[in-house]
Amino acid sequence: MVTGDRQVPASLLSAVRRDLRPVRPLAAPLRRALALLPIGLALLVGVPAVWGWRANFSALGLAAAWGLSGAQTLAGLLIVGAALREAVPGRELSARYIAATLGAAAALFVGSTLVTYQLAPVVQPSVWVRGAWECFWMEAVSSLPVFAATVWLASRALPSRPALAGAIHGLGAGLMTEAGVRLFCRVSTPAHVLLSHGGAILLLGVAGALIATLVEKWKARKH
Amino acid sequence: MRDREPPRDRDGELVRLMIAYQAGGLDAFTQLYAELAGELRRYFAAIVDSGAVQDLMQDTFLEIHRSRRTYLPPLPVVPWVFGIARNVLGRHRRAAWRRRRSEERAIAPGDEKRWSTGPPPPPSMALDACDFDAALRRLPAGRRRVWMLRHIHGLSFQEIGDRLRIGAAAAKLRSSRAMKTLRMALAGAPDPASGCPPAKRAGEDR
C-alpha cells in the first residue's frame, strides 16, 4: 500500500509531462497589489479632473482633501492585497483578520465622510437625493479599470473561497475609486455619501463575489 | 533515519522540491508525490467514501500542477497543498450535489425499471441480472453515473465529461474502474446484503 502511495499513476505522470514548462511563481500579494498603485493614483486625480472638482474643494484644506483621499487609496490597495492573499491556497485570512481589515476600511470611509461634512457642509434640502443616483453610477463606472485589474489578478490565483476573495477585491476597488469621487462630489451630507457612494462600494463587493465565483466555475469546467 | 528528522527539515526539503518543480523538474514532482500522497490519501479517506479517494488524489495533483505558480517560495508547502486539496474537495462536493440533483430529475423512470422492476428475464438470466443490479447499486455514485451514461445511454467520454463537468480522461478512468469493480463483484461470491440468490457461473445452467 505504501509503495502504491508513493508511485505516481501513469495517467497523472503523462499529464504532468505534457505541460512541464518552467513557471515563475506569483509575486507576494502585497507586491501585486502595489502594481495597482498607478491606477489608484490615476483614479485619485483623474476622476475629479474628468468630472470636475467639487465647488467647495478649498474649504476642505490639504489634509482633508488629499490626505484623506490618499489614505483611502492606500487602504484600498491594502484591502486588495488582503484579497490577493486570501486567493492563495493555504494562506486564507482568518475571520478576525477579515473583520479587522473591513472594519478599519469602513471606519476610514465613515470618518472621512464626517470630517468632510464638518469642514464643507452642503445642507441644501433634498440635494443629496437628487445626486444620489448620479454619484452611485459615476462611482461604479469609474471603478471599472481598477475592478477589471483586480479581477484579472484574482483569476490567476486559486481561491478556496472565491466569493469572499472576490467581495474583498470589489470593496478594495470601490474604496480606491471613492478616493477620487469624493474630490468631485460637492454634496457632503452623510446620508448621501453613505448611501450613494457607500452603496456603489457595496455593489462592487457583490459584483466581485459574483465574478470570482463565475471565474472559478469556468476554470473548474475548463479542466 | 529519515523518519526521525524534525519536521522543519522535511519542510525545507519540500520547499526545495517545489522550487525545482516550478523550474520544470519532473523528478521533483515525482518526489513531491511520494512525500505528500500518503497524507492526502488519509485526509480524503477521512472525509469521503473510499471509492472517491483515488479520483480526488488525481484531481488534487492535477490542480497542483496547473496552479504550481501560485506557490510562493519559501512558504511551507504542506498548507499550500492542503489548501488546494480543500478546493478540490469543495468542487467535488458541489459536483456531487449537482449530480445527485440532476440524476433525480434527469434519469427517466424507464432506466430505473430496466434494473429493478422490468419484465422478468428468462430463468437462465434472472440470477445474473439480480446480481448485476446489486453490484451496480454498490458502486460509488460518481462511477455508477459515468458507467450508466457510457454503457446504457451510449455517450462518448467527451459527452460524459461535458455533462458531468469533469475531463474526458476522468470520465474514462471512472468508467474503467466501475467496469473493473463490476467484473470483480460478478466473478466473486454473492453479497448476502443484496438479497439475491448466489450467482450462477456461465455454463451452470446446462
Q: What is the ipTM of this complex?
A: 0.79
In this prediction, residue A125 carries a pLDDT of 62
Q: Is the pTM of this model over 0.90?
A: no
Name the least confident of A140-149, A159-168, B60-69, B188-197.
B188-197
Lowest mean pLDDT among A156-170, A181-195, B85-99, B118-132: B118-132
Question: If you count them, how many residues does chain B have?
Answer: 206
8 Å CB contact between B99 and B164: yes
Give the B window 33-52 contacts with A, CB below 8 Å: 33-34, 37-38, 41
Q: What's the length of chain A?
A: 223
C-alpha cell recorded at residue B20? 525545482
Long-range contacts (CB closer than 8 Å, 24 or more residues apart) made by B133-137: B133/B196, B134/B191, B134/B194, B134/B195, B134/B196, B135/B181, B135/B182, B135/B185, B135/B186, B135/B191, B135/B194, B136/B182, B137/B194
C-alpha triplet B135, B139, B144: angle, nearest 5°: 105
Q: What's the rounded Cα separation, in Å, for the pair A163 and B162?
A: 24
- Between CA B140 and CA B144 the distance in angstroms is 6
Q: Identify residues of A whose CB sits under 8 angstroms from chain B CBs.
A: 2, 5-9, 11-13, 15-17, 19-26, 28, 88-92, 156-160, 220-221, 223
Any idea what DSSP says for residue B117?
Answer: T
Q: Is the pLDDT at B108 greater than 70, yes or no?
A: no
Do A109 and A72 touch, CB atoms closer than 8 A? Answer: yes
Q: Does B169 touch chain A (CB under 8 A)?
A: yes
Residues ≥6 apart with Cβ < 8 Å to B33: A6, A7, A8, A12, B61
Highest mean pLDDT among A89-93, A106-110, B116-120: A106-110
Quick check: A154 and A218 in contact, CB under 8 A? Answer: no
Contacts of A36 (CB under 8 A, 6+ apart): A77, A80, A146, A149, A150, A153, A176
Name, in order, each residue with C-beta under 8 angstroms of A11's C-beta and a sequence gap of 6 or more. Answer: B58, B169, B173
Burial class (CB in 10 A: 0-12, 13-18, 19+), A72: buried
Residues of A in contact with B76 (CB under 8 A): 90
